[in-house]
Structure 1
Amino acid sequence: MERAATGGRRRLGIAVVRGDSMRPALQPGQRLLVLYGARVRPGRVVVARFADGTLAVKRVAERRGSGWWLLSDNAEAGVDSRHRGAVPDEDVAGVVRVRLWPWPRLL
């Protein structure tokens, strides 16, 4: 990810969970602290943009080619890489570090 615009500093942002695809770990309405420019690794929860422009919160399963295979924790809900394929590096916006609300917790 490009960090030149921030002087090499990582940026923080907030994401809100929508839908049931990340249950039971994450519930709809929970607020997440996202660290942009953080290192992506298997097992981490990320915010990513699928090819159709949809932003999603998903868990990194593995590296596939030049992208990441992202999965829902709840395989019966939502859409993930099983439906849309690997997500290129540049489309992984950031890594979720903390669930802020309603009960703070490191992820």
Structure 2
Amino acid sequence: MESHPASRNDGRTAGRRSVVPLGLAVVRGASMRPTLAPGDRLLVRYRRTPRPGQVVVGRFADGTVAVKRAVEQRPGGWWLLSDNTADGVDSRHRGVVPGDDVIGVVLARLWPRPRRL
């Protein structure tokens, strides 16, 4: 009998289920306009390293959790900016966000009109 990769059980995953770390976030404020609006509901993938340009949920040093755009990696972490630079607080005010404090990557807006980000 031939063994196929999809049906092979090498014992490493026997008895365990894969859990995808997903969650929800709600946008507060207008700092991410026009991409996101206050009240938008977002699907977030936790424990995922962002790529430059992706929208993320991050925690600044003062404990503020915010939805921002990951612009680039710098020494010490990520530079996170608002899409609407005239509104909101971001890395221009609070500095770099350590990689461990980038909580997750936003996959999609679920409400009011679903779309991938």
Tell me if TM exceeds 0.5. Answer: yes
Q: Does the residue aligned with 1:48 lie in a helix, a strand or coil?
A: strand
Change (3 A) 1:106 1:66: same
Q: Aligned pair 1:84/2:94, yes or no?
A: yes
Q: Aligned pair 1:18/2:25, yes or no?
A: no
Larger Rg: 2
CA distance in 2, matches of 1:42, 1:89: 13
Residue equivalent to 1:98: 108
Q: Aligned pair 1:30/2:40, yes or no?
A: yes
RMSD: 1.2
Residue equivalent to 1:52: 62
Following TM superposition, by how much is the alpha carbon of 1:37 offset from its aligned partner in structure 2, in angstroms? Answer: 1.6
Structure 2 unmatched ranges of 5 or more: 1-16
CA distance in 2, matches of 1:77, 1:94: 22
CA distance in 1, matches of 2:94, 2:20: 28
Percent identity between the aligned chains? 66
CA distance in 2, matches of 1:9, 1:62: 29
Q: Kindly indicate which of the two structures has a greater share of residues assigned to strand.
A: 1
CA distance in 1, matches of 2:18, 2:70: 24
Q: Does the residue aligned with 1:83 lie in a helix, a strand or coil?
A: helix
State the TM-score, normalizing by the size of structure 1. 0.90
Residue equivalent to 1:69: 79
Following TM superposition, by how much is the alpha carbon of 1:8 offset from its aligned partner in structure 2, in angstroms? Answer: 7.0
Query: Highest relative contact order (Cα 8 Å, sep 6+), 1 or 2?
Result: 1
Structure 1 unmatched ranges of 5 or more: 1-6
CA distance in 2, matches of 1:77, 1:28: 12
Give the paired residue count: 101
Residue equivalent to 1:4: none
Q: Does the residue aligned with 1:87 lie in a helix, a strand or coil?
A: coil
